[in-house]
Every structure is written in structure tokens, then in C-alpha cells.
Amino acid sequence: MIRFSAVTKRYPGGLEALRGVTLEVAEGEMVAITGHSGAGKSTLLKLAAGLERASGGTVLVQGQNLGSLGEASLAVLRRRIGFVFQDHKLLYDRSAFENVALPLRICGFPREEAARRVRAALAKVGLLAREKAMPVALSGGEQQRLCIARAIVNRPMVLIADEPTGNLDADYARAIVDLFDSFHQVGVTVLLSTHDEASVARLRCRRVALAAGAVLKAAAA
């Protein structure tokens, strides 16, 4: 589903975030990328989602070489990948409902069909009752779940989450991890990152440790 071959990523200014990462995530698999902050986890996820381009090596997603895709094709590919951003990237002048509806509006979904899907996604993350709420009125955990609802509203085959348990307390973190596990159970390929291995300790999934932009070990749990 996702295949990295000797991928490097260098940012302007010389920072080398990834140094020759080779990694394969099979269809329907769930993989946790662990490592300290600055290890290159976010970069790896962004490359997998087509949000950034690799400086070297190849990134294949669903058989497509992202390096050879044009900007428009890359944007269209992003519609098939759900991404949960570390900083949520919510629109604070729109209701929860409208935030979740954004990816569908971009695709030109019929209104009623879109509303049905938005409500299904909100129900999935337990925010159906808050659909009219503005993001500022939501707690940190609720904002996180709203971001997940937006990521799954397009029913993607791949779900990528950058530090989804980041600054949540243990109970919230467990609920979020369980949520991802439930997507994994229904066949969605899940790729998530965390700097706190304890929060994913309960998950039965492969862990890939990243340090200084390189893969340390790839062990099954």
C-alpha cells in the first residue's frame, strides 16, 4: 500500500529530516512510527500522504510513484488518504459540521449525500451532538476527534495520524487509540506516529522506531 525506498528529505536550510528510509506498509496493516521529536516521524507521514515531496528515493502509494505525479494529481491522491494533523488544522470560523464537510465539498459531493456522510463520521468519533459547535468551544480531545472525523469522511483506504495522542491525558489517548484500532479492524491501512510508546502499548501492531531520520528497528509486537 505504501512503500518507501531509500527516501531522503532535505529541507531548505540543510536540515536532513530523513536519511535513506526504506519501509513497506501492507494493505490493511497498522503501523506505529515511534521516536523522539525531531526523529523525522512527521516528515515520513507527510511524504506518505503526498503533502510533501521526497528529495531522494521513491515513495509509492497505492502503486503510484508520488515523485512523478503533478501537483493536481497529488492533490487528488490526498483525497483518498485521511490525514490527522498534529496541530489539527481546523477552520475556526466554521462549525464542526462544516469542518468535516470540507473534503466532500472539494470533491463536489451532492449535498444530501455529503450531510449523511458528515453525520456518520461525527457519530463515529462521538461528536454528533456537537455538529453545530465551533471548534473553539470544543476541548482538545474533541478537536482531535473532529480532525479524525474530517480524515475519515471521504472513506479513505489509508488513514495517517501524526501524534494523535500528543497532548491528551491517558483516558483520552486510550479512546483515540481504540478509535484507530477500530478503523484498522474494518480493513483500513493505518499509519500513526507517537513519541510516547506507552500510549500505543495496548495496540497489537508493528512498530517502526525512527531516530535521526533513519529506521532503527522494525519489530512486530
Partner 1 sequence: MTWLRLHLDAVGDALRRLASQPFASLVSIAVLGVALALPVVAAVLMKSVGATAAGLDTEPHVSVYMALDAAPEDVRRVEGALRAQPDAAAVKFVSRAQALAELQSTTHLADVLASLDRNPLPDAFTVRMRTSDADRIAAARAAWSRLPKVDQVAADFEWSQHLARWARFGERVVLAIGLLLAGAVAFIVAHLIRLQVLTRRDEIEVSQLVGATAADVRRPFLYHGALEGLFAGAAALGLAALVAAWIGSELSALTPSYAAELKVVFLSPAERAALVAGAAALGLLGAWTAVARELRRFAADR
For partner 1, the binding residues (CB under 8 A) are 51, 71-72, 75-79, 83, 85, 89-92, 102-103, 105-110, 150, 154
Q: For residues 51 and 133, which CB has a smaller minimum distance to partner 1 in the complex?
A: 51
Q: For residues 72 and 219, which CB has a smaller minimum distance to partner 1 in the complex?
A: 72
Q: For residues 40 and 156, which CB has a smaller minimum distance to partner 1 in the complex?
A: 156
Q: For residues 5 and 95, which CB has a smaller minimum distance to partner 1 in the complex?
A: 95
* DSSP state at residue 46: H
In the complex, minimum distance from the CB of residue 79 to partner 1, in angstroms, rounded to a whole number: 4
In the complex, minimum distance from the CB of residue 195 to partner 1, in angstroms, rounded to a whole number: 22
In the complex, minimum distance from the CB of residue 154 to partner 1, in angstroms, rounded to a whole number: 8
Task: Take residue 167 and report the three cell numbers written for it.
Answer: 497532548
Q: For residues 92 and 218, which CB has a smaller minimum distance to partner 1 in the complex?
A: 92
In the complex, minimum distance from the CB of residue 220 to partner 1, in angstroms, rounded to a whole number: 32
Q: For residues 83 and 183, which CB has a smaller minimum distance to partner 1 in the complex?
A: 83
In the complex, minimum distance from the CB of residue 214 to partner 1, in angstroms, rounded to a whole number: 25
**How many Å from the N-terminal Cα to the C-terminal Cα in the chain?**
20
75: enclosing H helix or E strand? helix 71-78
Residues 6+ apart with CB under 8 A from 14: none
In the complex, minimum distance from the CB of residue 69 to partner 1, in angstroms, rounded to a whole number: 12
